[in-house]
Amino acid sequence: MLNRPQSTWLSESQGEECVATRGIDASPRLRIGLLSALLVVPLIGIGFRLAHVQLTLGDEYAREFERTTERIESIPSRDGRILASDGQVLAEDLEIFRLKVHYRWIEEPADPGWLRGQALRRLDRPARRDPERVAEGQRQVLRDREELWSLIVKQTGVDEELLAKKRRSVQRRVEQIHARVLKERERRAKEAHASTQSLFLTDGESSGTWSDYWNRVVAALTTPPRREETEPLVIQEQLDYHLLVDNLTLESAVEIEAGRERFPGTRIEVAARRTYPQGTVAAHVLGYRLPVSDELLAERRARFPDGDPLDYRLGDRMGITGIERHYERRLRGLRGERVLVLNRRGEVIEERVAREPRYGQDLVLGLSMNLQQSAEELLDATLNGPQIDETNGKSLPTPTGGAIVAIDIRTGSILAAASAPRFDPRVLVEHDQAGWSAIQADARQPLFHRATEMTLPPGSVFKVVSAVGFLESGRLDPERAHTCLGYLDSPERYRCYTFKHYGVGHGDVNLTAALARSCNVYFFDAARRIGSAPLIQWADRFGLGRATGVDLPGERVGSLPALETAVSSKRARGTSGEALQLAIGQGKLTATPLQIARMMAAIANGGRLVTPHFAQSTGTVRTETDPADASLPSMARSGEPIPDLSNNTLAWVRQGLTEVVAHPKGTGYKTVRLPTVQIAGKTGTAEPGGGRPDHAWFAGYVPAGSPRVAFVVVLEHAGPGGHAAGPVARKLVQAMQVERLLGGVELPSAN
């Protein structure tokens, strides 16, 4: 019977419907069966899906768990070598080995996720379900890490405390980066949350309208969840390998590389380090290279807004000064590329070379290394010890700096370019903090390249140019004598050195004697008659006041009075005191030691202005993959003839320069003369003013009869040129004789 009352007013059709449904309501078993089917059928589907995932898709999910990524890493190249003319290596790249360790092995305490992952990797599938075995695996990983540090100390010889200090330093740096990134992520999350909230409000409050609710729905459906608010932050530095031990021996590198199972989490990196085997010799000439920094990259981007032609990146090296910078394009090698295959924890499991590195070109300099070293030792002795005047035994001021330059008069090849004080480039390359502090504390500026960047008044050395200007003007008879009383018009002004110190003049002197004895009065008188314009013109023709074109960066040009100003003023008529000062190399005139050496070379070689240069040839480093010819054309230059310079003028000037050293009354006779070779040159004493000691110059060429080498010696604040610079010049010529650079078989003197 039915469980509910039935109306007697049911229609016939409704009655039939009730009879039809009475079977379901009347059978509880049927209803239970239907409900069970509704529950069991979905469960069966879920079971089939689980079985499908486990049996069919298991490998696919396992592959995802073992998913790898690829990273491109640069392979350091080898920059070209720099060699002296005799083949000695001045700069080269040495292959070094460095030990890097993955951050997770360094981190203390160990990251829980990483630690568990390392333990699970060592267990089979059933063991991974055993908590005790997983915990024991984690403890074993920690024991392996402690053993790793002991093995590294034993294999590399690094101090254990130093290794621990480096590990702490790496972790501290990575944690600082992590904190900054986390702070930035939180800031962005707050901004994103604020922007989302703005979608729910209108003018700061909910209006309660249907459009406001619609905006909420749209925002909820379209705004992605902020997963980063709950997920742990992992930065790239936590997945990288970090340098712990630098400059490993080959034996240690091979041992570690071969025993990867004993040295887990480690990598051996092959790198190149710039070395300077000769130490401080020619340090200013060579310069140095440093790794490219963010500051250098920013400077390059500002210089080349459309793209850096040399494509510098962090980790590359760049020539900063000297030859290293000037010949950067030739010396710099092209880095290669290596593909690293990493697991999901950032550990390298495979690597392959995608592009081999290309090595830089070698560069051969014209430097005579023995002469360069002798020149630097002469400057060191002068700067570091008390100086005694050889003519009277009195003390001379100790110079604050100095330079020596020697060049081939025919080609302009620089044989020596010494600057003192000097520095050790290894201090900069190896980041020696103590050495760098010493360089910074030295008031004499050891990094300053005095040979090409120091500009001083040349003093009486400039009388060479003045003599040429007087003779070529046609208004001076070189044989006509002028009586020198020691002063021009008044004993108080325009005096000779001998009058200021000894109260006497030079008597009757012609051009040759005026050069030999360095008579200021003779040159004052001549300058007053012809004016300064011819002197400025000839100074320009001899290369003063402009760059020599030497292949070094940072060359200074000195200063030369403007010719246009001299022509349009009283200087043209010689009535200005500046014209008289110019005639003896004082006033506004300044020059570099290299400019003066070039000027002397022009006097010696018949009037050709050569271009000084260091590089002789370049070539690629020979390798098995690149057997290129290492020779390139020579860079020697013969020079351009100086316009309107006559042989007769040169002959008069050369005679005067020879007598400077050869004549008993010459200013260089007592301190420069050698019995084995005839030296021609000019002493110079430049007054810096301010009560400071004079600058000492000596510039000349050897041998006087058949010149081959022009040279200059300049000492800052060292006193009279003949007395201070003269002895150094003599010893320099002796070193040239020893090296047989003068074309003869002459032997050095006993002194």
Looking at residue 751, its pLDDT comes to: 37
Q: What is the DSSP letter of 11?
A: -
Rounded Cα distance, 450 and 596, in Å: 13
- Give the torsion through C-alpha atoms of 168, 171, 177, 182, to 10 deg: -120
Q: What is the pLDDT of residues 188-198, one digit of tens each?
A: 878 776 765 66
Q: Which residues of the chain have pLDDT under 50?
A: 1-2, 9-10, 19, 202-206, 228, 570-575, 620-636, 745-751
Q: Tell me the pTM.
A: 0.77
Q: For 67-88+278-365, CATH number?
A: 3.90.1310.10
The H helix count followed by the E strand count for the chain is 29, 24
DSSP 395: E
Residue 661, judged by CB atoms within 10 A of its CB (0-12, 13-18, 19+), counts as buried
Burial of 317 (0-12, 13-18, 19+ CB in 10 A): buried
CB 698 within 8 A of CB 385: no
CATH superfamily name and code, 369-430+447-615+645-738: DD-peptidase/beta-lactamase superfamily (3.40.710.10)
Pairing of strands 608-609, 615-620: unpaired
With beta carbons less than 8 A apart as the criterion, state whether 638 and 610 touch: yes
Q: Quick one: DSSP state of residue 75? A: E
| 3-class SS of residue 739 | coil
Predicted local confidence at residue 26, as pLDDT: 60
Q: Which residues are within 8 A (CB) of 256 and not within 5 positions of it... i.e. 6 or more apart?
A: 99, 155, 248, 263, 266, 268
User: Are the CB atoms for 473 and 438 separated by under 8 Å?
Assistant: no
How far, in Å, are 216, 553, 554 from residue 301 at the CA level?
47, 20, 21
- Joined tokens for residue 415: 């044989």
The pLDDT tens digits of the residues spanning 329-347 come to 899 888 888 888 877 766 7
CA distance 372 to 415: 7
Burial degree of 289 (CB within 10 A; 0-12, 13-18, 19+): buried
* Cα–Cα distance, 636 to 614 (Å, whole number): 10
* Residues 450 and 588: beta-carbon distance below 8 Å: no
> CA–CA distance from 64 to each of 58, 117, 343, 529 (Å)?
10, 15, 11, 96
CB 389 within 8 A of CB 433: no
